[in-house]
Each structure stands twice: as structure tokens, then as C-alpha cells.
Structure 1
């Protein structure tokens, strides 16, 4: 059967006829005139190649074919109704729709546990899937492809298709092991430059924000190790003579804070902003709007 030729209103008329067993009453039930209902019944008979309803002393009598179709059509119409209502009404306590997040490493460690706990409390039936990305512009690719509902990371390149909202920011700190020779003292520029540095570069660049700031002053630090995994840095620093300049939240969430001395860098570094991003096509979707509101409300202050 070619579904392109099926008018959904015919199925509504069929359900009304099954319920009322009268063309006139069925028309009243769904707001149609008696001639319009008769025309709908005629089209149904032609479409399904069956009489469907025959006259009887007490009204219309459904045929065996009509009885076979009654439950599946009623179920299909109910499902369509729920789907259309879903576009207007969303109840997270009863919803079972899946949600998906794209996260860079730091939000996954620092923010995801709290968010998961909130989701289990507010929306226990909604399964969550998480995808990782490294390059900030991968967030745009994932959102364009509808692979995730929202992303959390550093702001991607500006795009008219993507909407961003500031979520939280992190300041930079310097870390060294607790018994390092520089631990417990104010960190001046000379001491800073004399150390062997661990550079965290998720995008595998050998020139980070610290190096860029130093270059503006005609200075350069000595790199001992470059790696893409920011959450490996605290453990490596805690067991070596290297120091590192990392996000404060990385230290707190690493599990190694008690082994480290945290110091203020001797150079002004702008905090790193993390944003919640979503595709413009999903801006008014009730479920996704609820998800975004929950994430924004749960963000660290």
C-alpha cells in the first residue's frame, strides 16, 4: 500500500465510526457533517478494499476486517497524539526519551557527576549518553550532525547555527609537589622560568596560553613534558620536579590535591570560559529547553 495516499483524517473518521456505529454521530464526535463522514467512509472502503461497516437494525455493524483494524489504528492514533502533545508539554518525571551530551575533558570530570545525580533525581527514566570531544570546533560538527543535544566546553568558533550560554569559568593556578624547593613561597617570574614545566595541550600544540603571554614580554619557559591529558598532569607533577600551570578545577577533581602546592602564577592569565552550546533548530524544543535550564542552574557559581 502506498502510504503517500493516506489521509490521516480518514483514520480519525474510522475510529469515530467504530466508537459510534453511526455516520451522523461519528461526524458530530469529530466535528464533521454527515455528507463529509459518508465521503470519508467511501474513501476508506476504496482504500482498504472492504465494506468495513454494514447497516444493521441497531446501527452500523463493523466487518471482520474493520474489527481487525480497530485496535492497531486506535493505538497508532494514540501514539501520534502523544508525539504531537510532546512538542508542547514535557514532564521529566515520566519521560523516557534519551538525551546526549558532548563534553570536553574538564567538564566531564568537574561537572558531570553533579549533573548525573541531578538527572537521576529529576528525570529518572531518561537515559543519558555522553560523547567526548577535544577540538572546540568538533562541538559544532556534533551539533550540526544532531549527534548530541548539547555540548559543554570552551566556546567554539562563532556560528549563526549555534547558540552559546556561559556556564562557568576556571582560573589558572601553578602546581608543584608539596616538598618541591619552591613550595610554600610566593612564585616570582625568575623562579617560574627556572623550573621545568609540564604543558597540558589537549589539541597537541607546543605553545599554550602561558607561552603566548610570556612571548608578549619577550620571555620563554623551559618545557620538560607536553601531553594532551590534563587530568594526568597533577599526578605527574606530584611525583616529579616539574611544575605546571593548569585549571584550578583540574587540581580539585584530580584526587591529588593533598600532594600538591597550589600557587598563583606570576603572570596575568585570563580565566577559561566554558559554555553550553546547542543548535538553533532545537532552541524551542521543550525537552531540550528543560535540559539546558537544568544544566545552567547546576553550573558552579
Structure 2
């Protein structure tokens, strides 16, 4: 009973302004670019003694890293994880197709920005993909196989930003999260198009070890992540 009271009073006394701690998150460069600047600014205002560290998804197995407390949370697409891993929906991530503004094949076809790419063109033009394990296929290839089609993947890179840069300077197409496509198009000479087929829309989730479910600082940082993502207006951000 005394232990319960102690935990209760500790939670009641929690003040983020007095917190001194480093939180380690892990995910794709999608998050380091889109989420972390806003999250860091928010945390600095609320808890100036808190530090943030962000690791790339290629760092290793999420469950192991959570078990060993090497990371506090992972921001990832759907994962098969043990029962002791808790999670929360961040947002849904529909797919968009990006190409260089001067992509010759698309310009010859006269496809306008945000227009639907013909399936023949989509399969004919070489693709660049983000791949952290070196594989040359993904959700898009699975969707194509279901309709008896295949694309030509010519370039696999470990980061979304590298994919966008390759697309901007070459004749590649790339299927990327729409949120990233919109962000990249603000600074790179790329155009966004609609895919010619239905590509699964993955849930982007936040994963953490269940032993931290009720830990006040951990609950607080999770809330900050959810609220920061929610402010972006992503589809169904933070709702389940």
C-alpha cells in the first residue's frame, strides 16, 4: 500500500520543467526531418533540461532495443512485436508518387501535377526506393503483383531524403509517404502524382516497453510526440 502511495505522489509531483533526462527515439529520416525540429522546439519551451536523441531505423531490432532500454520509443510502420511492447497510432501514411519536374517520360505523356500516372508508364519508368535492409521490393511491388504487374526498381537507398534527391536529379519515380512528398516538394524540383493502383496505407505507430506505461516522464514524452504529430494534420493522427 505504501509503495502504491509513493508512486501516486511521485506522479502527482511530476513537473516537466524540472526534468533532467535524455530521451532516445528511433525511426526513419522521415521523422528526423518532419517531426524532430517541431518536437525539439516544443520540448525546449516546456522542459529546457530535457535532451532528445534520434537514431536511424537501421540501428537494429526494435524489440531488443526497447528491452535493453537503448531507446525509449520507436516510430515505425506495423511491426510484429512481443506482448510486452505497447504501441499507439501516430497517423496513417498514404502513398504518393514523386518525379522530377523535368522527367522526360512524364512530360511526354502530358501528366499534370497531382494527376494519375498511367499504369504502363508507372511500370516502365525506373523506380528508386527507400530500403534499410537492401531489399529491392516493398508494399508497392506486392500491390502490383496482385494485379499481375511489376515495376523496375533500379535504385535502393537507406533514407527517404536520399530517394528524393535521386528523383530530383534523375528520371526515377518513387513511391513515398505523402507527408514526406509534400515536404520534399517545397525545397526540391519534384512533382507529386497519384499512383495508378491501390497501395496499402500503413499505420505509423509509436512503440515502447510496457514497463514504462505509467512512468510519468515517459508518459509525458509520448504525449508530446502525439500532440506534435497531431498538430501537423496528418490523416487520423493520434486516433484509434
Q: TM-score range with shorter-chain normalisation? A: 0.7 to 0.9
1:173 and 1:127, CA in 2 relative to 1: closer, same or farther beyond 3 A? same
- 1:202 and 1:230 in contact (8 A); partners too: no
Q: For residue 14 of structure 2, what is the aligned residue in structure 1?
A: 90
TM-score, length-scaled by structure 1: 0.66
**Of the two, which has the highest radius of gyration?**
1
Task: Give the alignment partner of residue 182 of structure 2, picking from 238, 252, 265.
Answer: 252
Q: For residue 75 of structure 2, what is the aligned residue in structure 1?
A: 152
Question: Aligned runs of 1:8-27 on 2, under 5 Å?
Answer: none
The structure with the greater share of residues assigned to helix is: 1
**Which deviates further from its counterpart, 216-225 or 163-172?**
216-225
1:97 and 1:244, CA in 2 relative to 1: closer, same or farther beyond 3 A? closer
**Which deviates further from its counterpart, 219-228 or 138-147?**
219-228
1:245 and 1:281, CA in 2 relative to 1: closer, same or farther beyond 3 A? same
- Partners of 1:126 and 1:289 in 2: how far apart? 14
Q: Cα offset for 1:285?
A: 0.6
Q: For residue 212 of structure 2, what is the aligned residue in structure 1?
A: 282
TM-score, length-scaled by structure 2: 0.82
- 1:155 and 1:164 in contact (8 A); partners too: no
Question: Aligned runs of 1:71-150 on 2, under 5 Å?
Answer: 86=10, 88-134=12-58, 138-150=61-73
Q: Cα offset for 1:223?
A: 2.3
Unaligned runs of 5+ in 2: 1-5, 234-240
Report the number of matched residues: 219
Q: Cα offset for 1:251?
A: 2.6
1:99 and 1:200, CA in 2 relative to 1: closer, same or farther beyond 3 A? closer
Q: For residue 78 of structure 1, what is the aligned residue in structure 2?
A: none
Q: Does 1:207 find its partner at 2:130?
A: no
Aligned partner of residue 136 in structure 2, secondary structure: coil
Q: Cα offset for 1:265?
A: 0.5
Deviation string 1:222-247 (CA, Å, 9 cap, x unpaired) is 22222222211111111111211112
- Partners of 2:43 and 2:164 in 1: how far apart? 30
Larger RCO, structure (CA 8 Å, separation 6 or more): 2
1:285 and 1:206, CA in 2 relative to 1: closer, same or farther beyond 3 A? same
- 1:105 and 1:134 in contact (8 A); partners too: no
- 2:20 and 2:50 in contact (8 A); partners too: yes
Q: Cα offset for 1:88?
A: 4.6
Q: Cα offset for 1:166?
A: 0.3
Aligned partner of residue 74 in structure 2, secondary structure: strand
RMSD: 2.3
Q: Does 1:173 find its partner at 2:96?
A: yes
1:172 and 1:146, CA in 2 relative to 1: closer, same or farther beyond 3 A? same
